[in-house]
């Protein structure tokens, strides 16, 4: 079961406990792991021309779909931020606290010494190990909701240059559920973790089915802890819980969740991903939204674009109040309502390489559509695509 402690947990926690010696072992393991592979492309780095050393690209596939009165939503937070005790790597940028608010010409993770976010210092995990990274967000489904499916996604910087964390350090996290005083270990339950390693950077995404846990606990504060990332300038990391739920007060909808791990390397050709299994109404107005989780997009580093096209609809660039043209992935966790910013601890406007957003796609859909093609490209800002989810109203209701 994903909430049990695996053998890999003990190895990871032991490496964390032995300190410098453990770090040396990790560095040796990294060298052993970095064997070249042929015909590889894509990464989440910002340095053009890097050779891909190793990768496990996972195509976007349907994880969950259904047709019922209800919706699909998410809660998210970053687990890394700039270190306010250190000056910016780029002296042209403002201090860390201002960069967290999105100020500066390029307030990105490359330009700051990064650190773990930890809202739970002094606490311990299931094996008695210290909590060294933690952030939270509140789930608030409408009364009478029944959770149909819930999945936890986490991802971060697996390595910088010669240091690459072994899989035993990235294949689980801790989750504190509403009302619990102790954390539960959550182990990756995919057949394999998506990752890519270049000469400059390595990144990953793991995930696990937590449906039964969310069904049992319901609304409240969810805290994710001890996600591992290499802690240097350019590091990033965060988590998202996607929840599909049934509620008779909501419109009849077709709901889809797709996931994978698809990197886009700087200055590389565009990538088109077909999100299949979409269902639209045969008549009436369209009401639909598309959400996504993307890693290592940067605020105010332009050149990254996201276009969507349904089966019969027009090719449309993703822009909205939070996303200008050519800066589709900008380290933001768009709030579903203004009040939601008070339900995420900590709340930062700039999440330094972690995106979890949602976009109204009503205008791009047409009757009879069966898929959406997401086309992404980049000039200099590389990133990794991890999750897409959508709902489409099958009646004319507008309710969110």
For 400, the token pair is 């969110």
- Are 79 and 229 contacting, i.e. CB atoms less than 8 angstroms apart? yes
User: So what's the pLDDT on residue 61?
Assistant: 97
User: So what's the pLDDT on residue 1?
Assistant: 33
Q: No. of H helices and E strands in the chain?
A: 4, 22
Whether the model clears a pTM of 0.85, i.e. scores above it, the answer is yes
d(CA 301, CA 319): 15
d(CA 243, CA 232): 32
User: So what's the pLDDT on residue 29?
Assistant: 37
User: So what's the pLDDT on residue 7?
Assistant: 34
Domains of the chain: total: 1
Residue partners of 185: CB distance under 8 A and separation at least 6 = 3, 4, 5, 6, 9, 125, 126, 172, 173, 174, 175
- Are 72 and 390 contacting, i.e. CB atoms less than 8 angstroms apart? yes
User: So what's the pLDDT on residue 244?
Assistant: 98
- Are 82 and 113 contacting, i.e. CB atoms less than 8 angstroms apart? yes
The series of mean pLDDT values per 10 residues for the chain, 400 residues long, is 38 41 36 31 38 93 98 97 97 96 94 97 94 97 97 97 92 98 97 94 97 98 97 96 97 98 89 97 95 95 93 95 91 80 90 95 96 93 94 88
For 60, the token pair is 């976007």
d(CA 122, CA 130): 7
Say if 400 falls within a structural domain. no
In this structure, what are the phi and psi dihedrals at residue 273, rounded to the nearest 5 degrees? -120, 125
For 89, the token pair is 């790597």
User: So what's the pLDDT on residue 335?
Assistant: 76
- Are 261 and 139 contacting, i.e. CB atoms less than 8 angstroms apart? no
User: So what's the pLDDT on residue 41?
Assistant: 29
Say if 398 falls within a structural domain. no
- Are 52 and 32 contacting, i.e. CB atoms less than 8 angstroms apart? no
Nearest to 313 by CA among 278, 347, 340: 278
Say if 2 falls within a structural domain. no
d(CA 89, CA 326): 25
Segments forming the whole domain that contains residue 233: 7-393
- Are 272 and 308 contacting, i.e. CB atoms less than 8 angstroms apart? no
């Amino acid at each position: 079961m994903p909430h049990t402690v695996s053998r890999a947990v003990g190895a990871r926690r032991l490496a964390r406990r032995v300190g410098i010696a453990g770090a040396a072992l990790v560095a040796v393991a990294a060298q052993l792991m970095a064997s070249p592979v042929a015909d590889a492309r894509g990464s989440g780095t910002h340095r053009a021309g890097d050779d891909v050393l190793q990768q496990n690209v996972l195509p976007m596939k349907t994880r969950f779909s259904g047709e019922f009165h209800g919706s699909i939503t998410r809660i998210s937070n970053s687990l890394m931020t700039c270190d306010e005790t250190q000056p910016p790597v780029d002296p042209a940028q403002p201090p860390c606290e201002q960069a967290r608010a999105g100020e500066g010409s390029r307030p990105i993770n490359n330009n700051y010494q990064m650190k773990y976010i930890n809202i739970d210092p002094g606490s311990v995990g299931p094996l008695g190990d210290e909590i060294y990274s933690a952030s939270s967000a509140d789930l608030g489904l409408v009364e009478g909701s029944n959770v149909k499916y819930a999945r936890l996604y986490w991802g971060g910087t697996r390595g910088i240059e010669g240091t690459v964390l072994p899989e035993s350090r990235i294949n689980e996290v801790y989750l504190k559920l509403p009302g619990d005083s102790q954390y539960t270990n959550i182990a990756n339950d995919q057949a394999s973790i998506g990752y890519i390693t270049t000469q400059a950077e390595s990144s990953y995404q793991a995930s696990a089915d937590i449906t039964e846990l969310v069904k049992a606990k319901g609304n409240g504060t969810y805290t994710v802890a001890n996600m591992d990332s290499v802690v240097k300038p350019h590091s990033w990391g965060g988590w998202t819980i996607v929840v599909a739920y049934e509620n008779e007060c909501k419109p009849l909808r077709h709901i889809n969740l797709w996931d994978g791990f698809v990197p886009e390397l700087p200055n590389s050709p565009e990538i088109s991903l077909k999100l299949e299994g979409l269902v639209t109404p045969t008549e009436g107005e369209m009401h639909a939204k598309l959400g996504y989780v993307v890693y290592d997009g940067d605020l105010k580093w332009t050149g990254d674009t996201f276009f969507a096209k349904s089966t019969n609809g027009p090719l449309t660039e993703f822009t909205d109040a939070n996303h200008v043209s050519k800066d589709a992935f900008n380290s933001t966790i768009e709030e579903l309502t203004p009040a939601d910013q008070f339900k995420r601890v900590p709340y930062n406007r700039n999440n330094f390489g972690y995106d979890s957003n949602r976009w109204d796609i009503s205008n791009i859909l047409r009757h009879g559509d069966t898929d959406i093609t997401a086309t992404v490209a980049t000039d200099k800002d590389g990133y990794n695509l991890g999750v897409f989810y959508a709902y489409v109203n099958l009646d004319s209701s507008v309710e969110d």
